[in-house]
Amino acid sequence: MRMINFVFLCIFAMILSGCSLSDVAEIAIPEDSRDEIEVVLGAIENRNTEAILELLDETEDRAQWEDVFPSIWDYAPDSTLQNSMLLGSYLNTFTRSGYETSKTLRLQYKLEYESKNLLLILVFVKQGEEDWQINGFRLNEIIPQQSLHFNFGEMSQNQQVAIGLGIGIPIFIILTLIASFRFKKVKRRILWTLFILIGTPVWAFNWSTETWSYSGPGLIQTEAIFNFQIFKFLLLGASFLKSGISQPWVIGIALPLGALLFWYRVFRGGPTRKGETEQRVR
| Reduced DSSP (H G I as helix, E B as strand, rest coil) percent helix, strand, coil of the chain, to 5 | 35, 30, 35
Mean pLDDT by 10 residues, the chain (282 residues): 45 46 71 86 84 79 79 76 82 80 87 82 86 84 70 81 92 92 80 90 88 81 67 89 76 92 83 52 44
Most distant CA pair in the chain, distance? 90
**What pLDDT score does 270 carry?**
67
Cβ atoms of 205 and 175 closer than 8 Å: no
Cα 217 from Cα 183, distance rounded (Å): 31
- Nearest Cα residue to 236 out of 193, 190, 266: 193
**What pLDDT score does 22 carry?**
61
- Nearest Cα residue to 270 out of 181, 178, 184, 176: 184
**What pLDDT score does 4 carry?**
43
Cβ atoms of 49 and 74 closer than 8 Å: no
Domains of the chain: 19-141 (3.10.450), 153-272 (no CATH)
**What pLDDT score does 153 carry?**
73
- Supply the pTM of this predicted model: 0.56
Give the contacts of 191 (CB within 8 A, at least 6 positions apart): none
- Nearest Cα residue to 56 out of 155, 129, 124, 138: 124
Cβ atoms of 30 and 103 closer than 8 Å: yes
- Nearest Cα residue to 245 out of 72, 123, 112: 112
Buried b (16+ CB within 10 A) or exposed e, 132-163: bbbbebebeebeebeebeeeeeebeeebeebb
Cβ atoms of 218 and 130 closer than 8 Å: no
**What pLDDT score does 274 carry?**
54
**What pLDDT score does 15 carry?**
43
- The backbone torsions φ and ψ at residue 100, rounded to the nearest 5 degrees and listed phi first, read -70, 150
